[in-house]
Amino acid sequence: MQFTAKARFLKFSPFKLRPLVDVVRGRNVQQALHWLSVCELKRAVPIKKLIASAVANAKFVENNIDLSKLFITDIRVDHGPSQRYFKPGPMGRASLQKRRSSHASVILKFKTNKKEV
């Protein structure tokens, strides 16, 4: 059984969130949450909340869950909408700036010892 959670319109660029997501992909949920809580970056907070939300969804479906067997199978960060605005440029011109946002999703599964065919 798999459990999902989504976070949309995060106020961080996907280029800045993807390195954090790459570290926790494939890890145990407990290890991932512990690593993200120790990480001192401000952009680690929405990823931690996303994984915690997926764990809460799993606990809602099944009461007795062993978190040591729950793993992050798929976590991704995609582009969201960009806000465009102008800042002063050289020689009185206006230069276009983009404030990027992102959408993130995670899928959790139980790790089984059996080989899947």
User: Following CA atoms 30, 36, 38, 42 in sequence, which dihedral angle do they give, to the nearest 10 degrees?
Assistant: -160
Residue 117 has a pLDDT of 46
Residue 116 has a pLDDT of 55
User: Following CA atoms 45, 48, 54, 56 in sequence, which dihedral angle do they give, to the nearest 10 degrees?
Assistant: -90
Say how many C-beta atoms besides its own lie within 10 A of residue 79's C-beta: 12
- The SS3 of residue 79 is strand
- DSSP bridge partners of 20: none
- Each residue's pLDDT expressed in tens, for the chain with a length of 117 residues: 899 999 999 999 999 999 999 999 999 999 999 999 999 999 999 999 999 999 999 999 887 888 888 999 999 999 999 999 999 999 999 999 999 999 999 999 998 766 554
43: closest CA among 73, 6, 77? 77
- DSSP bridge partners of 102: 10, 79
Domain ranges of the chain: 2-110
pTM equals 0.88
CATH class for the region spanning 2-110: alpha beta
